[in-house]
Homo-oligomer: A and B are copies of this chain.
Amino acid sequence: MKKFINSVDNMLAESLDGLAAAHADIITLGPERKFVRRRELNPKKVTLVSGGGSGHEPLHAGFVGYGMLDAACPGQVFTSPTPDQIAEAAQEVAGEAGVLLIVKNYAGDRMNFEMAAEVAECRTATVITDDDVAVENSTHTIGRRGVAGTLIVEKIVGAAAEKGVDLAGCVALAERINARTRSMGVALTSCTVPAVGTPTFTLGEDEMEVGVGIHGEPGRRRVTLERADAIAFELTSVIAEDLDAPDGTEALLLVNGFGGTPTIELYLMYNAARRMLEKRGVRITRSLVGSFVTSLEMAGCSLTLTLLDAETTALWDHPVRTAALKW
């Protein structure tokens, strides 16, 4: 296991301390590092709380700040945050308008966010993201997995909350974005969970896992590594067919690296995917390319497509100021 690490037990705490120190103008840590919260809270607006296992950085703590999340709860690596973490974060940022909990569709996350919502002494509503089209059910997941599309929900609903949309409106918007979002990924290498110390799965020197999950869950098939165009064609075909977008629809294309894939390759994949989607009649009007929802040091990437309209485009463009996204 080749990582910059002092000890398995302290890895997450030290990384969170670094994040908080590097972005002290934007965020602060809760007690015992149970959550990362926005330094300046706005008690009048709906507040957004998300979280999940660590190892997907910058998701979610890197998206705490103006225009996006109010707090994020980091679990241990690939492990859900505990109900008390989530409940304390929600209470910390709750105003009169209520708290929206944004939860990726994994059994552990759903259970713990649900328990947190029951015990939290504040008004909450919950939205589940499930944008991964690769498989219908996965390890520890009933239904589709929630993956990189989650950041798009967080960005667009975060902007709406800043503009004063109420809790019911934020829920409806989040469900609408999630319903218009599809993702699918491919892994070229495995990742290694620090506490385990050996790779989560093994791929041959010339193999890739198509449809991989962000914790290394199996995808659709393990095949010989193909050319970038062939990979992009498969991912965009599955996504576009599942979305069944009308000709000429505007969309946001996110090419997301899994942690071990460099920028030069991500832009190459973006170029391939964009050409193919436009050939299908999808107009790519907004783009995001980078490593935003990672799987530790896994080499690979995912494509995410979100259908846009004038309202959601304006919300995407709305200013944001977080550690990982700023405009």
- Residues of A whose CB lies within 8 Å of any CB of B are 2-7, 11-12, 14-19, 21-23, 54-55, 57-58, 62, 188-189, 205, 208, 225, 227-229, 231, 259-272, 274, 284, 287-289, 291, 294, 296-297, 299, 301, 324, 326-327
Contacts and interface: CB of A to CB of B under 8 A. Distances in A.
A20 to B, nearest CB: 9
A271 B6 CA distance: 12
The prevalent SS among residues of A at the interface is: mixed
A296 B4 contact: no
Copies of this protein in the assembly total 2
B261 A22 contact: no
A265 B21 contact: no
Contact of A271 (B18, B291, B326): B18
Given A14-B268, A287-B21, A294 B262 contact: yes
A268 B228 contact: no
A289 B22 contact: yes
A2 B205 CA distance: 8
Contacts of A54: 264
A97 to B, nearest CB: 28
10 contacts: A2-B188, A4-B261, A18-B268, A21-B287, A22-B270, A22-B274, A57-B262, A261-B297, A262-B291, A263-B291
Closest 7 CB pairs of A and B: A18-B271, A18-B267, A259-B262, A57-B263, A22-B287, A18-B270, A4-B265
